[in-house]
Amino acid sequence: MRRTTALRTGLSALLLLGTWVTASTLPASAADSPARSGEAPASPELLSAMQRDLGLTRSQTEARLASEKTATAVERKAKQAAGSSYGGSWFDADSGKLTVAVTRSADTEAIRATGATVRLVKHSAHQLDAAKARIDDLSAPAGVSSWYVDPKANKVVVNVVTARQDDNDVQDFLAQARQTGPVTVKQTPAAPQTFAAGTVGGDPYYTGNVRCSIGFSVHGGFVTAGHCGGAGAAVYGWDRSYVGNFQGSSFPDNDYAWVNVGSGWWTVPVVLGWGTIPDQLVRGSNEAPVGTSICRSGSTTHWRCGAVLAKNETVNYSQGAVHQMTKTSVCAEGGDSGGSFISGDQAQGVTSGGWGNCSSGGETWYQPVNEILNRYGLTLHTA
């Protein structure tokens, strides 16, 4: 659905995508955003999008958003209370509670006092992260799609493409991975790929022959995916007018970039609703826990919702591995790259890639927005 000329003029600096979720460390520019008195949990249209994609009723959607907001606040307190015993955490949509894994029973009382439930595990998050880091140092073949720490399983999960699982190089990689620590292997139907696209119609930004989507406005520009353009590349808006240039870009290893905005364009703290939902204000970038709902808006597939599946996952694209990604059950397609993942009014990250599409389903990864802000010293533009 195309926006009106008035909306294009008023929000042109936001250009394309939608709304995202995640972050690693919280920068000074990403302050807590307390709920405003009488404020609805989300717009009716956003609630409808979540109902469509998550199979919920309106009351279930509102209850889940409230529980997820509480879980996000609890997670920070519980992690601090657990200290070195911390083994990870996840949100359970059925119970509406955050579960925190710990390696010492002596820590359970302090963690329960934060409002979280507790599970005793064998391996700490530090041990699991160290095992994953050792896997990061290995050379992964094309048949290995990604690997990440799963706090619920208390192991490092290595995903392999089903059709390639018996390849000798895949088996060799798995043998080396198992030597790094507690590892389990899962199958995935397809290899990940980035979601950039050739020049087509719609509301994009363009660089060369590639169409991508804007993630979030920052003071002085916007953040997006690194695979959309290299440092210095010129960027043009939906109307083909000059916007600015890629000031920094990293891909692979990372998948993030930022573009300066000028030449009559400006930034606003909004994610476009594409006429399907009202444009969404961005008020911060607090990181949402694993298991919480998340929505995305892109120049190709517009508003789509799902859940956070994993954090700090290494994704093995054909161009090379990308680290510290967050995996979601949200679908995406070509041209959605760089677009925004958002949880409530909190920015989470920019779309990188995935597998599948919005007809048959799939999974999508995003690069956490707080990592991008910290890397380039940027300040998120918030309402």
The closest alpha carbon to 323, from 97, 79, 140, belongs to 140
Catalytic one of 150, 255, 279, 345? 255
- The arrangement of strands across the sheet holding 221-224 comes to 197-198, 210-212, 205-207, 234-236, 242-250, 256-260, 221-224, 216-218
Residues 330/296, Cβ–Cβ less than 8 Å: yes
Bridge-based pairing of strands 340-343 and 19-20 is: parallel
**Residue 381 appears among annotated catalytic residues:** no
Q: Which of 337, 340, 343, 352 is the catalytic position?
A: 337
Catalytic pick among 29, 85, 150, 227: 227
CA distance 381 to 268: 7
253 is catalytic: no
Q: Rounded to an integer, what distance in angstroms lies between the CA atom of residue 104 and that of residue 219?
A: 44
- Catalytic residue status for 337: yes
CA atoms within 13 A on the CB side of 277: 27
Q: How far is CA 9 from CA 3, 4, 17, 267, in A?
A: 10, 9, 16, 12
Q: What is the DSSP track for 92-155?
A: ETTTTEEEEEES-GGGHHHHHTTT-EEEE-SS-HHHHHHHHHHHHTS---TTEEEEEEETTTTE
Among 255, 246, 235, 245, which Cα is nearest to 319's?
255
Peptide bond into 204 cis (omega under 30): no
Catalytic residues: 227, 255, 337
